[in-house]
């Protein structure tokens, strides 16, 4: 059996879901990187990150999500607010409707644990540490939802995220 508590999976911006605002696929400022850039506008945008890690129908096997790192940059004007949510959803059986996802408790890293720290003009790497890390069952999915409330001239660049997990197979 393999038990590795130091596994991670990068989730590029083109695998995430972006709502509200004008988002553009772009080359990053660093050669050979990709980003999603949001045009300046006084509006609230939501980015949903699908956490794509192995799941397993056997209890305590597969992946246990420990934390998620998220990278973004704010330029021109600070955000009005930035917040995160972590959701665990169960896939429905045939002919059944999707149920409401269950909110997961988490803590922000010390550099982002206040609302004021998350909206500043700079490059951000924010870590969300799951309070009770779940082993993902084969019928569960995990999503991280970020809400960026931009000021009229705020420019937002989203670089992607990384899921950090324990793998047991």
Beta bridge partners of 104: 86
User: Under a CB-based contact definition with an 8 Å cutoff, are residues 62 and 133 in contact?
Assistant: no
User: Does pLDDT of 29 surpass 80?
Assistant: no
Provide mean pLDDT across the span 58-67.
90
- The percent of the chain in helix, strand and coil, each rounded to the nearest 5, is 5, 55, 40
State the distance between the two ends of the chain, measured CA to CA, in whole angstroms. 6
Tens of pLDDT, residues 121-137: 999 999 999 999 999 99
- If pLDDT is split at 50, 70 and 90, which confidence band does 153 have? very high
- If pLDDT is split at 50, 70 and 90, which confidence band does 120 have? very high
Q: What is the pTM of this model?
A: 0.93
User: Does pLDDT of 27 surpass 90?
Assistant: no
Mean pLDDT of all residues belonging to the chain: 92
| Spatial separation of the C-alpha atoms in residues 13 and 35, rounded to whole Å | 6
**Cα dihedral angle (119, 121, 127, 128), rounded to 10 degrees?**
10
- Least confidently predicted of 32-41, 79-88, 118-127, 137-146: 32-41
Provide mean pLDDT across the span 65-87.
95
Residue 65 structural domain: 3-93+100-168
Q: What CATH number does residue 131 fall under?
A: 2.60.120.260
| Spatial separation of the C-alpha atoms in residues 124 and 148, rounded to whole Å | 13
User: Does pLDDT of 117 surpass 80?
Assistant: yes
User: Total structural domains in the chain?
Assistant: 1
User: Does pLDDT of 32 surpass 80?
Assistant: no
């Amino acid at each position: 059996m393999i038990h590795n508590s130091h596994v991670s999976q990068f989730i590029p911006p083109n695998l995430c879901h972006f709502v509200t605002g004008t988002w553009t696929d772009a080359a990053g400022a660093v050669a050979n990187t990709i980003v999603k850039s949001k045009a300046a506008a006084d509006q609230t945008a939501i980015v949903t990150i699908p956490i794509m890690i192995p799941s397993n129908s056997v209890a305590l096997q597969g992946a246990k999500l420990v934390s998620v790192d998220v990278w973004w940059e704010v330029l021109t004007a600070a955000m009005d607010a930035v917040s995160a949510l972590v959701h665990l959803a169960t896939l429905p059986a045939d002919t059944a409707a999707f149920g409401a996802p269950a909110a997961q408790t988490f803590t922000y890293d010390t550099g982002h644990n206040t609302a004021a720290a998350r909206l500043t003009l700079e490059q951000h790497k924010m870590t969300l540490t799951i309070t009770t890390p779940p082993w993902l069952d084969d019928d569960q999915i995990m999503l991280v939802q970020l809400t960026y409330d931009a000021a009229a001239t705020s420019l937002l660049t989203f670089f992607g995220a990384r899921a950090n997990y324990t793998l047991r197979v």
